[in-house]
Amino acid sequence: MDIEKYYKTKDLNEASYIYFLKIPFEGLVKKENFYLFVFPNSKETQKASMEYWSNNAIGNIKEFADAQKTLKNLIFSRN
């Protein structure tokens, strides 16, 4: 994958927030003992990441939890 084209994070909560915002999920990249969540490296993704890390993330907590559950299921289905 092209590093410039993709935004990668290993933080499940950050990835869940980005996914919750309906930013396209590009996939998982397996590293030695963890996975990277991959999204397009867009302004929308960068904004979502900044909102998350600056404690300005907002939204429906149930939808966020559902997004997190989906990403967890993707990880565990690969193990």
Instruction: Convert the pLDDT of each residue in 55-67 to its tens digit.
Output: 999 999 999 999 9
Look up the pTM and report it.
Answer: 0.90
Residue 1 lies in a domain: no
Helix axes 43-53, 12-20, angle to 10 degrees: 130
Q: How many domains does the chain have?
A: 1
Give pLDDT tens digits for 14-34. 999 999 999 999 999 999 999
Alpha carbon distance 40, 77 (integer Å): 23
- Angle of helix 61-78 relative to helix 12-20, nearest 10 degrees? 120
The answer to whether position 48 is within a domain reads: yes
Q: Is residue 18 part of a domain?
A: yes
CB–CB of 20/67 below 8 Å? yes
Domain coverage including residue 45: 6-78
